[in-house]
Amino acid sequence: MNNQTVNVVLFSGGRGSSVLTKQLLHHSSVNLSLIINGYDDGLSTGEVRRFLGDCLGPSDFRKNASRVAIEKRSCEQGLIELLDLRLPVTVNDELVAAILGLLTAKPVENATVFFDSFSRLHDSLRNESKNLLVERMQAFCDELENQQEGFDFSDCSIGNLVFAGSFLVSQRNFNQGVDDYDRLLGLEAGLILNVTKGENAFLVATNENGEYLESEADIVDAGKRNHIKDIFLLDAPIQKESLEALPVNQLNKLLKQREADIHLNEQAQDAISRADLIIYAPGTQHSSLFPSYLTPGLGHDIAKNTQALKLLVTNIEEDAEIPDFNAVEIINKAVYYLREKNARSYPVSSLLTHYLVNLPDTKTRDDEKNYIPLGNMEQIEDPRLIRIGNYEDQETGNHDPEKVLSPFVNEILAKKAALSVAVLLTENSSVNKTVQTVLEMARSKLQFPYDVTIYYQGVEIDYFQEVDLPFKTSHVENKGNELMLRAVLENSHDYVCLMECSGMYHGYDVISLISNLNQPNVDAVWGSRRLSASDMKASYKFRYRHRVSLGAVSYIGSYMLSLSYLSLYGRYVSDTLSGLRVVKSHFLRKNQSNFERDNFNQYLLSDLLDSKGRVFEVPVDFLPMSPNKVRRTSILQGLNAFWVIMTQRMKSLL
C-alpha cells in the first residue's frame, strides 16, 4: 500500500455520519469505503420494496450517493436536486404520467407548479444524464405495466424510482444496482457498498416488554420510544397479528428459525481486509448500524485485520430507538452484534480499539438536549480503549469531525516500518488486555530489522494464530515468571522487553522504547512514568485521594530511590519502579534468579549501572488503576528496595 494513503471503512446509515463522511472525502490521503445496509422499509422506500418484491431498501444508498456526489462534485448539481426531489403527498395520476413521460423522453404537458419546477430541473441536465435516466425509468415503467397492484407515488422521491430502474437494468442484482445508480452520479464503483451480497431480508425487533416490532419503520418510530431488546433479519415479513398470542420464548425461537440466509459482500470484505481505519459511526443504532454488524463473518474479518485502528463513535444525543441508553450500553450492544449475538468469541480489542464517548462541556452544555450519558465506565475492562471528551461541534448536536478523525488519520500516516524484539508480558491475567497490548504494538511500526516474538502466559489465545501479525507470538505454560524468562532467554534474543500487561501501560510504548535501540551500544531503554508528569500526578491522585499523608510518603520515597542511585552510582534514574523496560539479554541472564522478587528492578538497575551500562530513559504513558485490581509497590517493599540498592552496591565494591 502507498504509505501516503489511508484506507478507511466507515459503517454508516443515512444521515448520522454525514459530517464524518464529508471530512474524509475532503482528506487528500484518505481512500474511503462507505458500508451500509438496505433494511429500510419506511415511506417510499417500503413501497419500492413491496413493488419489486425482491429488492432491499434504496433510501440510505440514495442519500449517501447524493451527499458524496455533492462533496466530490462528480455530476451536475441539477441531477442531484432532481433525484432528491419528492412527489407531492397528494399526487394525482396526471402528474405521475407527466413525470414518467418526461423522464422517458416522451412529449407531455402539465400545468402544475410541481411539474414546472421538475421540468426546469430536467431541462437543465446534459443530454448524457437525460439518456441515462431514460434507460432506467423505462425499465421502471415496463415493470409498472406488468404489475396489477400498481405503485403508490405519494411522497416518493424521484431517486427511489430511478434506483428501482437501476435494480431492474442490473438483472435484479441489488449490489450491481447500487453501482449502476452511483455511476449515474459519476461515482466510482466500490465507494458505497452494501454490507451483504444483496439477499433480501427484513428487519424486525422485540422490545423489553416482549412485544414484536414488525418493521424497520416501527423500530425507529419516535412516538413509541421503543426500548429494543433484540433485532432479527427475517427471510420474509411476518404480520404482528399472527404472533400476538405467542409467549416471549416461543416468539424468539420462531424469529430465530426464520432468520434470512445472508452473506458478507466480497467487496466489503476486501475493503475491511485492506483498511487502516475502521469507523463505527453514530446514528440510528438498531436500524442503520447494528443490523450491519450482525452480518455473518463481518466480525471475523474485522478481527483478522490486526493493523487497523477500529473506532466506535457513540451518539451525542438520544435517538428514537435508543431512549434512556448510555454510551456503555451502545458499546456493549455493538460488541454483541459484531460477535453475532455472542455466538463468536472474538476478543473485544480485536473488534474495537477505541471508544470515543462524548462528555459535554459543563460551561456550554445545552440542558434542553437529551445527551447520551456515559454509563458505568467501570464495565469497560481495558481503560486504554476509552477516549472521553467534548466531541460536539459547538452546540450543533453533530460531532466535530476534526476532533474525531484527525488524531487517528495522522497517527496512521506517521507509522514507520516495523522493528522486532523479544517481548515478555507479565501480569497478563486477562485475555482482552493481552490482545489489546499486542494489537497496539501491531499498529506501531519501526524502521530497523529485528525479529519480534511476544511471550505470554495464562490462557492460550487462538486469535493470535488466526490473524496476520507483523511478529510471532509464543504461549508459555504457567510455570512462574522465572521459568518464563528462561524460555525467552533460551531463544538467544539480543534484547528482551519486559512489560507489565495489567492495563496500565500501552503496547505502543513498547515500540517507542525499541526505537531507541538503533543507537550504538545501548544496554537498556527504561520506560519512565515520571517523565510524563501529568500521568504520575493522576496516578497519585487516583491511588491516594483519601490518604494524602500516605501519598506524600510514597511520592517522597520514590524520589529517594532515584537519589540513592545518584549518590551510590552517580546516575539519576527517574522511575526505578517502572513496569516497562528493554534490556540486553545477558543482564537478564545474570539476574534470572531474582526475577520473581518484588524488587527485581533494583537488582537489574544496580547491575546495569555498576557495569557502566548505557541506559536511556524514555517517557511512557501510564493509566492508573485501583490497587484492588493490580499489584502496586507497598511502603514496606519500598524500604526493602533501599536495602537491595545499598547491599548490591556494597557487594560490587568488595
Quick check: 451 and 561 in contact, CB under 8 A? no
Q: Is the predicted pLDDT of residue 448 greater than 90, yes or no?
A: no
| Band of residue 598 on the pLDDT scale cut at 50, 70, 90 | confident
Quick check: 393 and 399 in contact, CB under 8 A? yes
Rounded distance, CA 533 to CA 173, Å?
59
Tens-place pLDDT, residues 286-310: 999 999 999 999 999 999 999 999 9
Q: Which domains does the chain have, with CATH numbers?
A: 1-37+262-415 (3.40.50.10680), 42-58+72-189 (no CATH), 202-261 (no CATH), 417-653 (3.90.550.10)
Tens-place pLDDT, residues 136-166: 999 999 999 998 889 999 999 999 999 999 9
**Cα(first)–Cα(last) distance of the chain, in Å?**
59
Q: Is the predicted pLDDT of residue 548 greater than 60, yes or no?
A: no
CA distances, 180 to each of 51, 175, 190 (Å): 20, 9, 11
- Taking CA 426 as the corner, what is the angle to CA 422 and CA 431, rounded to the nearest 5 degrees? 100
Sheet holding 228-234, edge to edge: 212-213, 202-207, 228-234
Q: What is the pLDDT of residue 225?
A: 80
- Residues sharing a CB contact under 8 Å with residue 101, sequence separation 6 or more, in sequence order: 107, 108
Tens-place pLDDT, residues 242-255: 888 888 899 999 99
Rounded distance, CA 267 to CA 510, Å?
35
| Band of residue 404 on the pLDDT scale cut at 50, 70, 90 | very high
Rounded distance, CA 611 to CA 626, Å?
36
Could you tell me what percent of the chain has a pLDDT over 70?
90
Count of CB atoms within 10 A of residue 341's CB? 13
Determine the average pLDDT of the residues in 393-418.
81
Q: Among 178-187, 199-208, 408-417, which stretch is predicted with the lowest mean pLDDT?
A: 408-417
Q: Tell whether pTM > 0.85.
A: no
Determine the average pLDDT of the residues in 278-286.
94
- Residues sharing a CB contact under 8 Å with residue 301, sequence separation 6 or more, in sequence order: 264, 269, 272, 273
Q: Residue written as cell 424497520?
A: 216
| Band of residue 418 on the pLDDT scale cut at 50, 70, 90 | very low
| Band of residue 280 on the pLDDT scale cut at 50, 70, 90 | very high
HEC per residue, 562-625: HHHHHHHHCCCCCCCCCCEEEEEHHHHHHCHHHCCCCCHHHHHHHHHHHCCCCEEEEECCCCCC
